[in-house]
Chains A and B, each alone.
Chain A
């Protein structure tokens, strides 16, 4: 049940919204220090699965194990407290606020003075600038508003924030969708660096070529079911695309979940 190599195991996850069966009996796992590519077409259930893992939704049935222990999330905060950090597609950054204020939003460093929680501005500036420098992001000053940053820089700030807050599992939701080729390459470098540091990563995307270059394994969802799961060596990017297009995994060899023979 709690295999040692696994950071996360989700078993038999089902979720229904009204008449729509968003997920049906999905098993999903991520090993320690592994990059898992979660792929599938629009509406395949990728986002729903991740929102269950991050405490946004409660599953109708199924179990979640994190570091071998069964967990149940009442809110996104519960998941975050365990070290599950998500970089959402919208990045969850607030343009009119400074980089530092964004970096620490909801987790401000404070000094208690009577009933007041005073923010330690200088300390937070230093930490934010340091954390971004460490992952190779240059910002002129951490009190610049996020509004003046480019798309790639914003992405970097969001990823830097997630990495800084001690994520064990980093979830990237379509991180390259809005980026230039150069910026995308940088994100892929971040992923490898995060792995190097011992994190596990779930990389959700449409762009099979992006995920293929960094992922160790792939899980393919289709209409709320898992259709296949492969290690990188077992499948080519073209074959993954073919599976997503056709919705069946028969076309190739390898571990196939839905076909019996």
Chain B
């Protein structure tokens, strides 16, 4: 059967086409497989998980489009959450703690970026080192104990307060981050440079784009968003334990790839990143509700990641001829 609709023809050329279809399939699957899946509480729960993951995923996607990669986001999330928790517990104003946490994240991103750009060592290695380094620092500073803080404030509510029973403020942060980064990518000059830096660094340099600067800025964006997610998570749990964020880097990268971002750079979208994070969140809740032991979560995400990557590659060949 022919699908003459030009809408379909146009849609398939978008990086997020694959994840959009995947999202619908998994959504439909769980709707039938899990009785309580399609309830307000369940959807709210998915959004809460997906929002925190999605803020990190958006940052990673932004960096991946520029052709680099960040394994340290999980540790950065831990560092920022920890700084926020420790300063709050020590009685500092929350806004100061939040800013300190984000500045620390920006600093880690800056160091990651400078090292990658100046040494030419692949970002995979640099950020693997960075991931281990900062995780170690958290463990050493806390002695392995969690930090708790039971106070409250308007800022903590703004970060991740609960409203309408089950929904959380993090959803707005997620949406805001996605909208802003999508706007930068598609509408601003800087967005053009980001795509060029990842898609053809040599050509971009020839045409006068300062690709090193673009990469460093994007490393910082990725780290700051991971830091923000750490603070948002702290606002939800009122505690940070030293392993907070461990493994999240892989989940975020998986979500970015599921969302259509290319590991080789130059290709991806924020809508894709958002759908990727929502898909991962949906799988996490849906499996539990469908009665599968939660151990199966990782296995299922693994399958989704592989299927998504294969489908995305095929789609891209199809779209680009």
Contacts and interface: CB of A to CB of B under 8 A. Distances in A.
Asked whether A and B interact, the reply is yes
Interface of A: 75-77, 80, 88, 90-97, 101, 104-106, 108, 110, 116-119, 121, 145, 147-148
B203 A96 contact: no
Interface in B27-70: none
A91 B204 CA distance: 11
19 contacts: A91-B203, A92-B202, A93-B200, A93-B203, A95-B199, A96-B200, A96-B267, A97-B195, A97-B196, A105-B209, A106-B204, A116-B188, A117-B188, A117-B190, A118-B189, A119-B189, A119-B191, A121-B187, A148-B320
Contacts of A97: 192, 195-196, 199-200, 266
Given A97-B200, A105-B196, A148-B320, 11 more contacts: A76-B208, A92-B200, A93-B203, A94-B266, A96-B266, A105-B193, A108-B189, A110-B189, A118-B187, A119-B191, A147-B320
B206 interface: yes
Contacts of B208: 75-77, 80, 106
Contacts of B188: 110, 116-119
A92 B192 contact: no
Given A117-B189, A117-B190, A88 B206 contact: yes
A165 B188 CA distance: 21
B208 to A, nearest CB: 4
B321 interface: yes
A90 B195 contact: no
Contact of A147 (B195, B196, B206, B321): B321
A90 B203 contact: yes
Interface bin, chain B: 20 to 34
A76 B206 contact: yes
B206 A92 contact: yes
B48 to A, nearest CB: 31
Contact of B199 (A76, A96, A117): A96
A40 B190 CA distance: 41
Contact of A106 (B191, B207, B320): B207
Interface string B203-218: 1101111000000000
Contacts of A88: 206
The 6 closest A-B pairs by CB, nearest first: A94-B200, A92-B203, A106-B207, A117-B189, A94-B199, A147-B320
Contacts of A147: 320-321
Given A90-B203, A108-B189, A96 B195 contact: yes
Contacts of B192: 97, 101, 104-105, 108, 119
A46 B320 CA distance: 35
A118 B192 CA distance: 10
Interface core residue of B190, B202, B204, B206 (most chain A CB under 10 Å): B206
Interface core residue of B206, B207, B320 (most chain A CB under 10 Å): B207
A173 B48 CA distance: 55
A91 B208 CA distance: 14
A213 B182 CA distance: 50
A50 B191 CA distance: 31
B30 to A, nearest CB: 33
A104 B191 CA distance: 13
Nearest to B190: A117
Contact of B320 (A104, A110, A145): A145
